[in-house]
Amino acid sequence: MLLVTPWSELWERNYFAESLPLVAAFIHNDYVRGGVTGIGLLTAVAGLAELGSVLAGRRDADEPAPPQ
């Protein structure tokens, strides 16, 4: 959501932007939109890395242990 929403119509038309002009000026700034998108990208990459480690751990757990 954080990757797409700052560039969508939903971002333009929200309660806070319509009721507070100072907030509207802030959130319509392209740097703010880029920052929110960057946070979304970092979150997505971290989530994929976590998912990869969980799947790798599950694969390691499924392999039989070597005899000792």
3-class DSSP state for residue 4?
coil
Whole-structure pTM value: 0.74
Show me where the domains of the chain are located.
5-61
Q: Which residues are CB-neighbours of 15 under 8 A, at least 6 positions away?
A: none
Q: Which residues are CB-neighbours of 43 under 8 A, at least 6 positions away?
A: 2
3-class DSSP state for residue 32?
helix
Burial class (CB in 10 A: 0-12, 13-18, 19+), 22: exposed
pLDDT tens, position by position, for the chain (68 residues)? 999 999 999 888 888 888 999 999 999 999 999 999 999 999 999 999 999 988 887 766 666 666 66
